[in-house]
Chain A
C-alpha cells in the first residue's frame, strides 16, 4: 500500500507543476472509480463521462487547494460528487426524460456467469438495479452512503438537507432496499 501512496504523492507533486504526463497517469488511475461514481449519481452514461473529465480538469487547475489532509482520491472524488450532484439537480430541474441504456450490457448479462468475477458482477448489477428502483432521494442517499461510503454529516452537506432528515431517509431507504432484495431472493 505504501509504495502506491508515495507514488500518488509524487504524481500530485508533478501535477502541481503542470506535468501533463503525470496528469494523464492520474486520470488513468482514477477514471474508472470516478466514472462509476458520476454514473451512479446521475444515472446517465453520456453525462457521466463529461462530468468525470471536467472534474479531473477542475482538480488539476485547483490542485494547489489540495493540502493533503485527505487522500488525493477522496479529494478528487468529492469534486466528482459535487459536480455530479450539480448536474443531477439540473437534470431534475429541467425534467429531462431519462434514457436508460438497458441494452448496453445485454450481451454480458445473457452469457452464462462462468467465473467468480462474473458472478460478483451479476450480484452487483442486481443490487444496483434494486437501488435504482427506489425513490429518487433514497437512491441518491443510499448510493452516497453504502457505495461511496460517506457518513451522514457528509451526505447532509452534499444533498443539502438537515442531519435528522438525512438519518431518517437513509434508514428508511435501507429498510426498503433490504425488503426488495429479500423479495428477490425469496
Chain B
C-alpha cells in the first residue's frame, strides 16, 4: 500500500466534518479543529455532544456503528484519514484509547500489550521491546502483572493498560476518550500526570473529557462541542476563565446563579436526546 512518507511534524486537521449515523441521525455538523504536533488539545462537551463520534471518525471505526463521514476532510500530516479503515490510522501514527478502557479481559496483561502492536504488522523485536520498556517505565505496576488476566486488574490499572496498549503502536497522536471515567480522584490525578508525561515525550494528545477541570489544566487549546457543533474554541487557560465554561463544565456559580444553571441543564438534556439515537 503506497503511504505518503511521514512528515517530520505532522498535525491532525479536521475540516468541515459532518457525520451521520444510519443515514439519518446527524451527529456532527461542520466541525473543524486542529491538533498541532506535540500539543494537548482538549475536547469538552456534555453527553451526546459528539465527542466520541469525532474520535471514531478520526480512528476509522464509524462503520462499526453504522456511521459515515458525509462531508469534510480528516488529514494527519499528508495522510487522508476520512473513509479509511482503522489500520490506516494506526499506521499513520494515530491510535485511539477507547472510552471505558475496553481491555481484553480474558487475555493476559502481556497479551494485551502485544495486541497494541498488531496494526503495524511485523516489527523488529528491538522495536517491540523498546515500546514495552516505555510502557513499563510509565506504568511500573503493569510490569509486575504481565501474566495476570487483564480482567482481574483494578479500574485504574485497566486504564493504564489501555493507554499502555495504545502506546505499543508508538503513536505520534494519541486519542484519549474519557480516561478519567469512573476512577477515584487520586487515580484521575495520576492519569493526568501520565498524559503530561506522554506529551512531554513528543506525542500529541487529543483528550476527550467530561472532567473539564482536569482537561483544561492539561491542554494547550480546547474546543467545546455542543449538539454536534463547535461552540467555543481557544487557548485552554482563556476558556477556563470564560463564564460559559465555568458555569457549564467547571461547576462554578457566577452572578447569574440559578438561572444559568437551569439553562445549562436544558442544553445537556437536549444533547442527551440526540446521543440516545445516534451513538450508544
A and B from one complex: no
